[in-house]
Copies of this chain bind each other. A is one copy, B any other.
Amino acid sequence: MGGSTAAPFVTLRGEAELVRRAGDLIASAREEYLCGATDLVTWSAGTNAVFDGGRRPPLRPGPGGLAMRKVYTRRALGDPESERRLARIAASGAQVRISSAPLAREAMVIDGRVAILAGSEARGARTYTVVREPDVVEGIRSLLYATWEAAEDLAGCLGSADRPVLDEESRAVLGALAAGLTDEAAARRLGMSLRTYRRRVAALMADLGATSRFQAGVLSRRAG
């Protein structure tokens, strides 16, 4: 494959070398391109350069085509620019999901044959390790796929960037609601009047777009 050796693993230094030495490898994906990263700033610059060279095979979501699965963390959301880029990636046929867990190191598995792991950022240039040992690659793929499975589809996360800041008091109200207290008991516990408590609940339900308390419970848990 390209000019790379058949050694169990090779360490590359910096994205430039990654693209030069492993570009062919990345572009050779035929069945599955599985990729996990915290956000879009690291990692993707290099691989996008690979694909922008026109060497990416067509994405066919159907069986037999290349399944492109990407997992990012919530840090990939946040600003509109990132969200737009994510939406563009998703629109190009890739399946994009957002994991609620942190992904400290970027990882990538190609067709279950090769894994590429990012190293630490120490000493300026980031290192990348290319792994070919089948059992190790399959183990990494298994873990990355588990993270993928546990993550939520991008579509369900896109609008959530504007409501991560939840009032401290609102959290208390949600807690009381989730605890199954009656309005009266909840208001007493929170030290506010029944009227005010119900105002809070009404505001929360309006925020969630819920028309019943059951629905509000479902939606609130979905949003965290």
Give A residues with C-beta under 8 Å from B: 8-9, 11, 36, 99-105, 107, 115, 117-120, 127, 129, 131, 133-136, 138-151, 177-182, 210-222
Alpha-carbon distance A219/B178, docked complex (angstroms) = 9
Taking a contact as CB atoms under 8 Å apart, the answer to whether B135 and A120 are in contact is: yes
Taking a contact as CB atoms under 8 Å apart, the answer to whether B144 and A135 are in contact is: no
Alpha-carbon distance A84/B64, docked complex (angstroms) = 43
Stoichiometry (number of copies): 2
Q: A99-B146, A115-B139, A147-B150 are in contact. List 20 more A-B contacts (CB 8 A).
A: A8-B8, A9-B133, A100-B149, A101-B149, A103-B146, A105-B138, A107-B143, A117-B140, A119-B138, A119-B139, A120-B138, A143-B144, A143-B146, A150-B150, A150-B151, A178-B214, A212-B213, A217-B219, A218-B221, A221-B221
A136 interface neighbour in B36, B129, B220, Cβ under 8 Å: B129
Residues of B within 8 A of A177 (CB): 212, 214-215
